Structure formats: C-alpha cells, structure tokens
Chain A
C-alpha cells in the first residue's frame, strides 16, 4: 500500500519521448516539413551564393556557382570586386552619402513623430482617433501617386537633384508609418506614472520629455531602426530626385550601375555592389533580428 522506497536511480534519456500526438506524420505535416526545410535551405544557400560571388570572377560565378572563390585570391586581389564597385562605380561616395542621409533623416523623423504620436494618444483631445486614422490611411498611398506633383513642386524651389530635397521628402513620407507605430507604443504605457508626475507638479511638457519619452525608448529605437532600413533600401524616390553621380545614394548607384555592368559583363562588380547594399542590413539584422521582426509586424498583430 505504501511505496516510498526510492526507486533505483533512473538515468534520464538523452531526449524525452515526444507526445504520441507529435509522432504520427500526416501527409500534410510531412509536406509542410519538407517545404519549410527546403525553403530555409534555399535562403541560406542564396545568401552564401551572394557573399561568395562578391569575391569571384564572372566565369566562376556562372560556371562554379557553389565553389568557394579562387581566381581573385590566387591573383592576390581578393577584394578586387568590392574595390571596383567602391572606387570605379562610385559606391564609396554613395555609401557615405547614404549613411549620413539615412541617419539624419531617421532621427528627424522620430523627433517629429514622437510628439505627434504622444499628442494623438495621451492628451485626451477629441477627434484624436480620427486623426490617427488619417495618418494610417497615409500608409496606404503608393509613392507613385504623389511623386509627380512632388517633383514639380520641388523643382519650383530648386530642390530636385538635391540631397536636402530628398531628405525633406524622406522625412515627410515616412511620418505616417512612424506616427502610427509610435501611437501603439504610447497607448500601451501606464497612466499612473504620468499622473504621479502631474501630482508632483511637473508641467505637461516636462512630463513628456522626462517621463514619457524615456518610457517609450524601446518604441523610439524600433522606429529609428525600421526607418533606417526603409530609407537605406529606398529606390524609386532616389531615382526620380537624384540624377548626378555626385549625389547618388547606394540604391540609386546600384540602379545606375546595373545596366553598365551587365553591358560590360562586370558581374563580379555588380554582385559586389549588391553585397554592399545588402550586407550592412544583414549585420543589422543579425544584431537586432528580434526587434526588427516584432517592430515590423507590430501594427498587424494588435
């Protein structure tokens, strides 16, 4: 009737047995597993191909797509493609321009969007909901529908083919998404801290700068990163608004390089150019994958 005798020491199995439910492979599950792994493997392969090809000669790229690069290494110029893109195709200058433009624009976007999102969510002003929706609708307007009047208008002020003009456009057109994203963050903050600050006699603007902004720090950083990624990759507006090599951003330079390079069979340089655009994003992604993914999918998940 009693069983307290310590059952002989048991050795744990290397892997606990899965539940019987998880074992049977239904056809659908088997198909799903196959597709998932195939898809994942393909993505990894493609990334490998891109990095490897940036160090290859065109012949190697096309005849030995999976081999490690050799020819340029044997000739003692392993970085030949990257250097070609950097120097001859203007990616070096474009890289600097893009870094500065993207950094400044992202910061300014957040500086403008944060107070607006705060005003829309936490000041209890009537009609805030409707105004928030107005911003949300802005996310649905394709850039193509505003680009012609924008171009004409900016030309009036001599702001076409001008980095400051592009900066203005980037800031303005990024606001709807950023404001919408940040309203979500501000709405989720607790009321108590704001009330406590008010009781302590802090002025509303002081409350915003010293209490609410630090609390929303996570959201602000996410907004900063997402805007940086978006602008780094932005192509249409840079094609329309920049037409001098000296002003090119990376995406614009890549666009211009594309036809010239394929004409000269400069595929090594072309892949290197693609890599220069993609790899900084990959590094950012490896560091911040979780934040980027949750940030980009946040609006939809609510």
Chain B
C-alpha cells in the first residue's frame, strides 16, 4: 500500500495499466450492447423462427421442424433464388476479378492511372437502387423509343435486344454487377500491387518476362493474401444482392418474375412483399440459408487460398 502511490508522485506503470483497464467496460459496453441486441439476437431469432410457421402479428408461431426447409427445396422460386445468387457470386466474382487482374497488369505502368482508378471506383458509392433504375432506363426495350443501349445497337445496325426480359435478366444483372463493383476490387488489388517493390518487375524485365509471366510469377503470388480478403468481401456483398435485381427486373413496387430472384428478393417477398399474408417462417428459413451460404463459401475460400505468409 505505502509503496504504490505516494502523494504527488505519478502512479507506477502497473497501477496505470490497471486504471486503464477499468475503462474497458464503459467504453466497450454501449457498442457491444447494441450489436448484440440488434444483430446477434435477431440472427438467433431468425434461426429459431426458421423452424416455425408464422404469418405475423395476430398469429402465434407454431413449431414445424424442418417443414420450411423441405418447402423451400420444393419451391421453384427458392431454387431460382438460390441458383441465381450462386451464379452472381461465382460468375460475377470470376468476371470482376478477371477484369481487375487485367487492369492491374495495365494500370501499374500507365500514366494517369490514378484518375482512371478514381473514375472506375465511382459506381461503388452510388445507391444500388439508383444504379438499378438507371440501368432500367438505359436498357429499356421499346421500339422507336429505345434506351441508350438499344439506341447504340440500332445505330450500328444490330437488332435491339430485350435486355430486361426474364430470360436475359440474370446475365444483364451479372454484367451490371461487374461494371459497378470492379472499380472497388481494382482499387484493392492495385493498392496491393503498389506495395510490390518495383525492382522485382525490373528483374523480370531483364529476364524477358511477358506481361502474363510477370502477373503469374510476381503480381499474383505477392498479392495472394489481398486477393483472398477481396474474395471474402465479394462473397459477403454478393450474397445479399437485392435492390439492383428488384428494380431492374421488375415493375418496381412488387416483386419481379421469379426467374430473376435472388435469396435477398425471396426473403423480402415472403416477409414484406405486397402479396398476401407474410410467411415469416419460410422467409427466416431462406435467411438462414443465406448465412449458411456465406459461411460455407467464406470458409472454403479461406482454405483454398491459405498458404505461407510472405515476408519481404
């Protein structure tokens, strides 16, 4: 006691650390309380509700076991939703990353590259709903009053395409997705490429490496970690695609044709869509599928990408 804090002397470092630790709960609790209350508890509730049949206020949730899940498997709407979501994650992801890789090869030595990067990045801070409506106007098919895309096609003598028809919409959304997100991934990858020491590229120049060989032997191995993280970010964001599809494929206020659905649209349609009584149980079961899909893909991606840490 007597050695700890003599009056007028600063406390020993140990004492200071203990005082610091006392700050932990007042600082940490408010944020974590909100986090638990608004994110963790609802997630658990969703999992529980996934095993019930419930049509909302006035009705009592009734435990039905796995009935919701077998219903999902039998449902066309869900099958389309699941496959489309997977397609956006995989095809959109591959497309986005291929484009980003191609850009890293060129942008590294290009003058004005910073400006190009900034222009490509911009769609990332535009609301997906605005992007969707914007594409809706550009891609509209209406003889004599075509949207921009068909206007361009017709002006070079190609027949206009019904971009927004159900049979094409998935691919159109994939294209829009790649267009809107590649800037973000280009920026992430370029930040990693910029950290690669330039003399490694100079040595490959002396070796006579082609751009592909430089990418294969220098850029890719040295940005592998970042590519892995970017892949996880892509998966997380692609799994919840909703607004873009909703406004692009449909009339706007109620759900689009089921061929174009994603899991996000499915959950919304079964819970807050304007058609009939909500089926909260089914919606929650589909939401659980979303979480499972993200978890499985993220874990798989991390395993696939794992390798030794690189030290310079």
Contacts and interface: CB of A to CB of B under 8 A. Distances in A.
A281 to B, nearest CB: 5
Contacts of A258: 133, 247, 252-253
Nearest to A301: B191
Contacts of B298: 140
A236 B243 CA distance: 7
B24 A145 contact: no
A142 B42 contact: no
Contacts of B41: 149
A262 B116 contact: no
Interface string A139-163: 1111111111111110100000000
SS class, residues of chain B in contact with chain A: helix
Contact of B106 (A33, A63, A240): A33
A187 B119 CA distance: 31
Interface string A268-302: 00110010011001101100010011101101110
A28 B212 CA distance: 7
B268 A205 contact: no
A32 interface: yes
B276 interface: no
Given A145-B287, A149-B46, A259-B252, A29 B23 contact: no
Contacts of A32: 102-103, 105-106, 211
A204 B16 CA distance: 8
B134 interface: yes
Interface string A16-33: 000101100010110111
B10 A199 contact: yes
Given A28-B210, A123-B23, A297 B43 contact: no
B290 A142 contact: yes
A26 B274 CA distance: 55
Interface in A1-60: 19, 21-22, 26, 28-29, 31-33, 35-36, 39-40, 42-44, 46-47, 49-50, 53, 58-59
18 contacts: A28-B105, A43-B122, A49-B138, A58-B145, A62-B140, A116-B31, A141-B43, A142-B287, A143-B240, A148-B45, A149-B45, A172-B34, A172-B39, A176-B39, A254-B130, A256-B253, A277-B126, A284-B125
